[in-house]
Amino acid sequence: MLEKEARLDPRAVRTRQYLQQAMGELLGEKRFHEISVQDITARAGVNRATFYAHFVDKYDLLNTSIREMYQNMLDEKLPAQPVFNRANMRLLIITVFEFLEGFIGHCSPGSISSEQGLMAQQVQVHTQTILRGWLERSGAVAQHELEAVSSIASWMIFGPIVQVTWERKKVSADTVAEQLLPLIEAGLGAYMHAGAT
């Protein structure tokens, strides 16, 4: 992602950071449903009314945080203006895998907490949004097909990875990518850009 268009007031930037950091700390101490907005703001040292100037509720805070962390990881691994091609799909698969593993990899098998469910959902939705952008940039899909194709593509990546991650199978991100790419190409190769980047 390029430089933000409008510079945010440093105070607002800071406040959001405090709130997000507080949420992260509290999630390490108790379950999501046990955490109140009061807890978050007290931990962050921010007035509770200020919380509502930035987020609708604690779900909004969590979802936003997850999306931003995921997007930061994508920004690190992918080119600045990715198109829908094999190389970028590979990088995306690896990123999704590593991101999910980072969250789920620390739980006992079969245990799915509400925060993990929420987190997984955010990753899927955001992955779809990203793919939609890629497809639009490539111009290989008709406008009315964008939603369908991006949804299918995201689930082809997301579904198998979620299953592998939740079942705690010992596989590497590269292995997963090598297994998924041929299948994705078989189904969506028609929309793929032939060139690099």
Rule CB under 7 A: which residues touch DNA? 7, 9-12, 14-15, 36-39, 45-50, 52-54, 57-58
Half-sphere CA count of 119, side-chain side, radius 13 A: 20
Least distance to DNA from the beta carbon of 115, Å?
15
Say whether residue 7 binds a second copy (CB under 8 A). no
By C-alpha distance, which of 7, 98, 22, 82 is closest to 58? 22
Q: What is the DSSP string of 70-128?
A: HHHHHHHHS-SS--SSHHHHHHHHHHHHHHHHHHHTTS-TT---HHHHHHHHHHHHHHH
Q: CB under 5 to 8 A by kind: which of DNA, a second copy, none does 101 bind?
A: none
Q: Which is nearer to a second copy, 45 or 109 (CB)?
A: 45
CB 132 within 8 A of CB 150: yes
In the complex with a second copy, the residue whose CB is nearer, 14 or 169, is 14
Q: How far is the CB of 108 from DNA (least distance, A)?
A: 24
Q: Which is nearer to a second copy, 11 or 106 (CB)?
A: 11
Nearest CA to 185 out of 91, 90, 100, 95 is that of 90
Which partner, a second copy, DNA, none, binds residue 76 by CB below 5 to 8 Å per kind? none
45 near a second copy, rule: CB under 8 A = yes
> Looking at this protein, which amino acid is placed at residue 89?
M
Q: Are 184 and 89 in contact (CB under 8 A)?
A: yes
The sign one gets for the Cα dihedral 129, 135, 139, 143 is negative
Smallest distance from a second copy to CB 15, Å = 10
Rank residues 6 and 190 by Cβ distance to a second copy and give the closer one. Answer: 6
The size of the interface with a second copy (CB under 8 A), counted in residues, is 3
Least gap, CB of 13 to a second copy (angstroms): 9
The nearer residue to DNA, 19 or 184, going by C-beta atoms, is: 19
Query: Would you count residue 10 as binding a second copy (CB under 8 A)?
Result: yes
Measured distance CA(92)–CA(101) in Å, rounded:
14
For a second copy, the binding residues (CB under 8 A) are: 10, 14, 45
